[in-house]
Chain A
Amino acid sequence: MTESELINGCKKNDAHCQRLLFEQYSARLMAVCLRYACDRPEAEDMLQESFIRIYSYITQYKAQGSFEGWIKKIVIHCAIRYAKKRRSKLMEPVENANQQIPGQDFIIPNLTETELLKLISTLPDGYRLVFNLYVIEGYSHDEIAEMLNIETATSRSQLLKARRVLQEQILLMQKIPAAS
């Protein structure tokens, strides 16, 4: 079955097509949910809600752009709603937007995807959201600021702090001294 046939079947509320769509995309979307959620149970709830929305909203998909990108956008919006429900505070005073990460060059060891996902889940809500949106999804700081209703400078600051925390976590995990 081609993708367009699958989509048309889901638009007609065909249970078989919906099941096939779930099986094709659930694993990838679960990884996306794990990146945004603070723990596994929340990630599962997020995935469930995302698929319900996908089935409800699929009639509006007009084949403009990638279907995977379209469903990922739904998951991202769902994740932002969850963050808002948790009343995650993204507004932070801008300490120094231009501050560089302390000069430490280090080599990231060969971590598995599961370990990397776990690393990201340890980030505070605000850092995690901005890091995912900027680094993984490719949004600009201006776009992130509009989506999250924050200042652009706050988005930059959150990203810098997210990188710092991740590096510290990686160092702790590996106990590798900083290379000079």
Chain B
Amino acid sequence: MTEKEFDAFFKTRLEKAEADVPADMWERISRKKKKRRIFFIPRWYLFGVLLLMIMAAGGYLYFNPQNNTQAEAALKKKTHRDGVNKILPGQSVAPSIESQLDNYAVDSLKQNGSKEDNDKKSGHSSESFPPNNYSAAAKKRQYTDLLRPQKNENEKALPVAKPGEQLSQLNDTGNLYSPSMVVLDTSKTIVMDSAALEKKSTTRNNGVDSSGEREMESQKAARFSVDVFLSPDLPFNSFNSSDPSYEQLLNQAKMRFSWSAGARLNIEINKKLMARTGFQYAVVNQQFSIIDTVLVKAGEPSKFTSLDIPVVFGYKIGDGRIKKMINAGILLNISSRYSGVIPSPGGSFLQIDSTNVYNKNTGISLFLSTSLSKQISNRFDVFAEPYFKYRVKSMTNSFQLFDHKIHTLGILIGVQYKLFKK
């Protein structure tokens, strides 16, 4: 038997052969056809929404009031220490002592004591603070009393120094004085009217003083910013088909002007790192042709649009007037739309908006860019960001005879607006 005879034997016997089909095959086919029609929320959409929620929660926790209170307490401690070291006569009393006086005054106000009770407690015949009715004069007297040293007959008299004079390290009584301690000028009293006292109380209750608030605000400065951008794009197709002539035909598509636009929210994680998310809308225009006998026939223009959510991290490089950043991340496709025609394997045109050719959700694309930005005012920066977008998965559904990916080069040009003043 020759090769030809051998081949012919198999061809004759198998070309028109038939085989048993499983009884449930039609049901399986019907079920699969119905599944494709059921609306579903793409996993990438849910993942993108979840990621946005996590980032929003993270941003909120980073700036929540609990953290602010701790920071304010740290600042208060710092100013308190600074205040103690700066006690000098002739000047206003140190904040620490002032706050102690405030505490005393407020606590006194809270006490529900009679005049007699207060007299007994203080040991003075001075007028006490009636809880609900006290005058400025009464407060003045109260402060004077506080500054007057309490006499204790059992104690030896401490050495008296003139205001501004430093005491020697060890006095006769054997008490050690700190070299930094300076005697207060006790002749001066603090005069505060009720309005000032209430203001002090309010300030104390709310926390940090004004200098601390400014520090907190400047820490918030530029943590959040918003980008708005446009980009002229250079997309390029990647087709793959088991039919080489069909693949060649698809690759002959002519690209038309394509663009994208979007907005991003930027969150500074630290001095070097930034998280960026938002949305990006891209439009790719191209035109396909078919060969009709000997003529090349152009079809109506095709449009591929997509709406993506970028989830990108940026890393600052160097310092200088022009800020440089490298960005990398992913674009999660939320929705894709198609219109126009592409060539069909049969040699005619195939409508891509009405048939199940392309997926409504095309999954993830990889994103890489370098951004250059320059500050033009307190709140605004301008930036240019060349980028490359690489589509990971084919846009066609699994039943098609070809795979199609569109990768894009572009340059985002836009404006950044800082949400807090520096």
Contacts of A19 in B (CB 8 A): 26
Which residues of the other chain, B, contact A147 by a CB distance below 8 angstroms? 242-244
Contact of A22 among B3, B22, B26, B32 (CB under 8 A): B26
Residue B1 contacts which of A35, A51, A106 (CB distance < 8 angstroms)? A106
List residues of chain B with CB within 8 A of the CB of A71.
none
Assess whether A61 is in contact with B28, with CB atoms less than 8 Å apart. Answer: no
Q: Are B243 and A28 in contact (CB under 8 A)?
A: no
| Interfacial chain B residues near A49, Cβ < 8 Å | 399
Q: Is A91 an interface residue (CB 8 A)?
A: no
B355 adjacent to A59 (CB under 8 Å): yes
Residue of B10, B20, B25 touching A116 (CB-CB under 8 A)? B10
Residues of A within 8 A of B (CB): 19, 22, 26-28, 30-31, 34-35, 44, 47-49, 51-53, 55-57, 59-62, 64, 70, 73-74, 77, 80-81, 101, 105-108, 111, 113-114, 116-117, 120, 131, 134-136, 138, 146-148, 163, 167
List B contacts of A59 (CB < 8 A).
Answer: 355
Going nearest first, the 5 A-B pairs with the smallest beta carbon separation are A27-B18, A146-B244, A31-B19, A31-B17, A30-B19
Bound form: Cα–Cα A19–B15 in Å: 24
B346 touches A136 (CB 8 A): no
Contact of B399 with A52 in the complex, beta carbons under 8 Å: yes
- In the assembly, what is the distance between CA of A27 and CA of B25, in Å? 11
- Which listed residue (A26, A73, A106) contacts B21, Cβ 8 A? A26
Docked complex Cα distance between A147 and B247 (Å):
10
Indicate if the CB atoms of B17 and A108 lie closer than 8 Å. no
In the complex, what residues of B have CB within 8 A of residue A73's CB?
345
Give 9 pairs: A residue, B residue, CB < 8 Å, sorted on A: A28-B16, A47-B25, A52-B32, A56-B355, A62-B347, A116-B17, A117-B17, A135-B11, A147-B242
A132 to B400: give the CA distance in the assembly, Å.
22
Q: Is B348 an interface residue (CB 8 A)?
A: yes
Contacts of B22 in A (CB 8 A): 44
Which residues B121-139 have CB closer than 8 A to chain A?
none
CB within 8 A of A30: which of B20, B245, B355?
B20
Whole-angstrom distance between the Cβ of A73 and the nearest chain B Cβ: 8
Inter-chain CA distance A35–B16, complex, in Å, is 12
Is B29 an interface residue when CB atoms closer than 8 A count as contact? yes
Contact B21 A136 (CB under 8 A): no
Fill in one digit per residue for B219-257: 1 if any A CB lies within 8 Å of its CB, else 0.
000000000000000000000001111000000000000
The reply to whether B7 and A135 form a contact with Cβ atoms under 8 Å apart is yes
A150 and B22 CA atoms in complex are apart in Å by 35
Check A30–B21 contact: CB distance below 8 A: yes
Residues A52 and B3 in contact in the complex (CB < 8 Å), given A62-B348, A117-B19? no
Shortest Cβ distance from residue A10 to the other chain B in the assembled complex, whole angstroms:
12
Residue of A nearest to B30 (CB): A15
B401 and A77 form a contact (CB under 8 A): yes
- 0 or 1 for each of B9-42: is its CB under 8 Å from A? (1 = yes): 1110111111111100110110011000000000
> When chains A and B are docked, how far (Å) is the Cα of A62 from the Cα of B344?
11
* Residue from B26, B348, B399 in contact with A56 in the complex, judged by beta carbons closer than 8 Å: B399
**Alpha-carbon distance between A120 and B347 when the two chains are bound, in angstroms:** 33
Shortest CB distance B360–A (Å): 15
Cross-chain contact B14 with A136 (CB below 8 angstroms): yes
